Amino acid sequence: MSSKTNEKIKRPHVIFFQRKVLSIPYVLFLILFIIVPILIIVLYAFTDENMNLSFDAMVSFFTTPSKLNVLWVSLFVALQTTLICLVIGYPLAYFLADKKINKNAVLITLFIAPMWINFVLRTWATRDLLSWMNISGGNYPYLATLIGMVQNYLPFVILPLYTTFLKLDKSQIEAAADLGANRRQVFTKSVLPQSVPGVVSACMMTFMPTMSSYVISDVFSEGKITLFGNFINLEFNNKLWNDGSFMALIMLIIIGISMFLTRNNSKENARGANL
C-alpha cells in the first residue's frame, strides 16, 4: 500500500519531465540553425574580413547610390505588385465568397492550386507565354517583371481575402441595407471596414516576398532589375559575406517592423499554411 502512494507522489514529476524533454531536439535545432545564423549575420554585418569591428558595410550601403537604389526599386516594385494584386484579387475574392454568385466551394481551391506547381516551372511557363507575346526582358523588362510577380503572388492575396469575406458579419450588412444605406454605402461603411484584416494580411503575403524575391525578377527582367533578393544573391556569388550580411540585416529589420505593425492581425494565413 505504501509503495502505491509513493508512486502517486512521484508520477506528476515523471510525466512533466518526460513530456517537456521531447522538445529538446526541436529547441536545439531552432537555436543552432535559426537563432545562431541570425546572430552571425549581425556579427558579420559589423565586422570586416579579419573579424575586426568595422562599419564599412553600413557606410557603403548608405553612401553607394546603386545600393540605396536597390532599396527604393524593391520598395517600388513590391508596392506596385501588391496594389495590382489587390485590385485584381479583392473583387475576385468577394465574388468567390458570395453565395449568390458562386455556389461551388471547390472553385477557390483551383485558385490556390498553382501554388503547388513548382514555382520555377511556373515562372518558366509564364516567361514562355510572354516571349511568345513579344514581351520579354529584352524589350520590356519592367512590365515583364511586374506581370511575373502578379502571376505568382495573386493566390497569396486571394486566400486571406476569401477567408475574410466568408467570415463577414452578414447581419450587419443586412441591417445597414434595412436602415436605408444604398449599395455603395453598404460597401464603404460595412464590407470594406470588415475586410481590413484580410487586406493587411494579403499585403504582408505579397509585399515582403516581392521585395526579397530573386528568381522572378532575374528571369523576367533578364537581370536588368535588381531587387533586394537579387542583390543578396550577388553578394553570395561574390562571397562578400560582410556586405551581404548587412543587406540581409536590413531586410530582417524591415520584416521585423512590418510584423510589429501588424502584430494584432492573425498570422494564420502565412504561406497558405491553413489549406
Residues 128-167 contacting another protein, CB under 8 A = 128-129, 132, 151, 154-155
How far apart, in whole angstroms, are the C-alpha atoms of residue 210 and residue 48?
Answer: 30
Question: What is the nearest approach in angstroms of another protein to the Cβ of residue 142?
Answer: 19
Q: How many CA atoms lie within 13 A of 167 on its CB side?
A: 12
Pick one of 100, 178, 184, 264: the residue that binds another protein (CB under 8 A).
100
Using the minimum distance from each CB to another protein, give the nearer residue, 95 or 142: 95
Pick one of 201, 229, 243, 265: the residue that binds another protein (CB under 8 A).
229
Question: What is the nearest approach in angstroms of another protein to the Cβ of residue 58?
Answer: 16
Number of residues that bind another protein (CB under 8 A): 89
Q: Is residue 53 classed as helix, strand or coil in its secondary structure?
A: strand
Instruction: Record the cell numbers describing residue 149, joined without a space.
Output: 510577380
Stretch that binds another protein, among 60-68, 92-100, 171-179, 193-201 (CB under 8 A): 92-100
Rg of the chain taking only CA atoms, in angstroms: 25
How far apart, in whole angstroms, are the C-alpha atoms of residue 235 and residue 243?
Answer: 7
Burial of 59-89, coded b for 16+ CB within 10 Å and e otherwise, reads: eebeeeeebeebbebbbebbebbbebbbeeb
Q: Interaction with another protein in 230-269: which residues (CB under 8 A)?
A: 232-233, 235-236, 239, 241, 244-245, 248, 251-252, 255, 259, 267
Given a contact cutoff of 8 angstroms between Cβ atoms, the answer to whether 73 and 225 are in contact is yes
Chain-centroid distance of CA 155 in Å reads: 12
If one asks whether residue 117 binds another protein (CB under 8 A), the answer comes out as yes
Question: What is the nearest approach in angstroms of another protein to the Cβ of residue 237?
Answer: 10
The interface mask with another protein, positions 46-75, x = CB under 8 A, is ------------------------------
If one asks whether residue 44 binds another protein (CB under 8 A), the answer comes out as yes
CB within 8 Å of 225: residues ≥ 6 apart: 73, 77, 141, 142, 145, 217
Pick one of 6, 37, 59, 192: the residue that binds another protein (CB under 8 A).
37
Stretch that binds another protein, among 53-61, 170-178, 189-197, 205-213 (CB under 8 A): 205-213
Residue 53 β-bridge partners: 47
